[in-house]
Amino acid sequence: MQKLLVTGASGFLGWNLCQLAATHWEVYGTCFSKTIAIPGTTIIAIDLTDLAALKDLFQTVQPDAVIHLAAQSSPNRCQNQPEASYRLNVTTSVHLAALCADRERPYVFASSEMVFDGLKAPYQESDRVSPINRYGEQKALAEVAVLDRYPKAAVCRMPLMFGAVPPTASSFIQPFIHALRTGQELKLFTDEFRTPVSGSTAAKGLLLALQTFQGRFHLGGKERVSRYEFGCRMAGVLALPTATIKACRQQDVPMAAKRPPDLSLDSSQAFALGYAPLSLREALTALRGLV
């Protein structure tokens, strides 16, 4: 089998991707601060911001393709630690693009819906980026630099994602589930909208991108929901108590990084090429007993 290098294997999306890819690829996954064991995946600990180490990794593994997921994805941390997050979110992404370009290897870079300001959704790939926090700025800068260095790369803007998780990571629903099961109040925004998908769906989209896409693509779901609506739907499907779910607004919760109000993605280009997200009900139903 051909070799696939997945950065960020210990993260939520990386864990999902490695398991799915292992049926068709010889998978090598990187980790940094958190080690993990994934069936069918060779895990390699590395500081991806170390260019010499990155070059050694390529020389050792000789990957046939690369999917780059590793990132500092916390908007608040990016806001408070801009230099450190820039090194991983931008510089490393471009270094990987260069290494793949020099070897003519397929390269998928996971970007984010946060490249938009949330004022003109739903967003198409051709819409002008307009980030309002440092995380979005860094992803927007990385997109341009990656495609400048390697025009054949696929840049996939990822939506809000949920699902079962490894011990080393979480998705946005785990705190929701814990709060509802323990009777804690769960405040959810009524004025923040997304097009979420499950981690397994997102992983399928990234593997499709590896084979099919070049340029920018959106991998959002087909349903636009607020966090409050999602929480209520999730509780219904997973048979969780709903008494402690409370509606609130973004402006009621102070955060270091601003949050765009509506980051709904128009993913029709990816749909036309075979990307097929489940409905939210189907995706949540598949999680029964796993979360």
Task: For residue range 201-254, list pLDDT tens digits in order.
Answer: 999 999 999 999 999 999 999 999 999 999 999 999 999 999 999 999 988 888
Residue 257 contacts residue 75 (beta carbons within 8 Å):
yes
Domain-located, residue 283: no
| pLDDT, tens digit (0-9, with 9 covering 90-100), for 209-222 | 999 999 999 999 99
Distance CA 198, CA 98 (A): 30
| pLDDT, tens digit (0-9, with 9 covering 90-100), for 137-150 | 999 999 999 999 99
Domain-located, residue 290: no
What does the pLDDT read at residue 86? 98
Domain-located, residue 275: no
Total count of domains within the chain: 1
Q: What is the mean pLDDT of residues 59-77?
A: 97
- The pLDDT of residue 263 is above 90: yes
Domain-located, residue 189: no
Domain-located, residue 143: yes
Q: What is the CATH number of the domain that holds 99?
A: 3.40.50.720
| pLDDT, tens digit (0-9, with 9 covering 90-100), for 175-192 | 999 999 999 999 999 999
Backbone angles phi, psi at 202, to 5 degrees: -60, -40
Domain that holds residue 43: 3-161+198-218
| pLDDT, tens digit (0-9, with 9 covering 90-100), for 96-121 | 999 999 999 999 999 999 999 999 99
Residue 92 contacts residue 146 (beta carbons within 8 Å):
no
- Nearest alpha-carbon partner for 275 in 224, 194, 204, 200: 204
Domain-located, residue 263: no
